[in-house]
């Protein structure tokens, strides 16, 4: 059971491809790799989320005489994966050229700040 359907995943992939168009040509191959990994991880996260929703965040562990509740393996995997997913997304965004700054607005803000003192 997955949380997102194929249509939603395709929609997300299209958004990522639009971001890729903004990446400079000499970095595009890196962006393509990142998008491939991000897409895969998104599917893994969806599956893990479904498992967590179905079975909860804790798991009863029993081995021999040892018996206790622990963090579910799905939750542990989810937490690790979401951190790496976020890191990949940041790496993709960092490939983009810096946003252009409107010098007039920048000067207006600076002028306003300096008058306040």
Long-range CB pairs of 29-37, under 8 A, 24+ apart, other chains included: 30/95, 31/92, 31/95, 34/88, 34/91, 34/92, 34/95, 35/92, 37/88
Give the pLDDT confidence score for residue 51 in this predicted structure.
Answer: 96
Mean pLDDT (whole number) for 52-63: 93
Average pLDDT over the chain reads 87
pLDDT tens digits along 1-53: 455 677 887 888 888 999 999 999 999 999 999 999 999 999 999 999 999 99
Q: What is the CA radius of gyration of the chain?
A: 22
Q: Which residues contact 47 (CB under 8 A, 6 or more apart)?
A: 1, 2
pLDDT tens digits along 67-97: 999 999 999 999 999 999 999 999 999 999 8
């Amino acid at each position: 059971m997955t949380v997102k359907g194929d249509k939603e995943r395709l929609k997300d992939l299209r958004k990522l491809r639009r971001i890729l168009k903004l990446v400079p040509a000499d970095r595009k191959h890196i962006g393509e790799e990142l998008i491939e990994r991000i897409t895969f991880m998104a599917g893994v996260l969806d599956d893990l989320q479904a498992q967590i929703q179905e079975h909860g965040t804790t798991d009863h562990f029993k081995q021999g005489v040892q018996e206790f509740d622990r963090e579910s393996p799905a939750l542990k995997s989810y937490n690790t994966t979401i951190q790496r997913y976020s890191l990949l997304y940041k790496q993709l965004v960092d490939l983009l050229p810096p946003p252009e700054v409107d010098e007039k607005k920048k000067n207006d803000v600076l002028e306003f700040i300096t008058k306040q003192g």
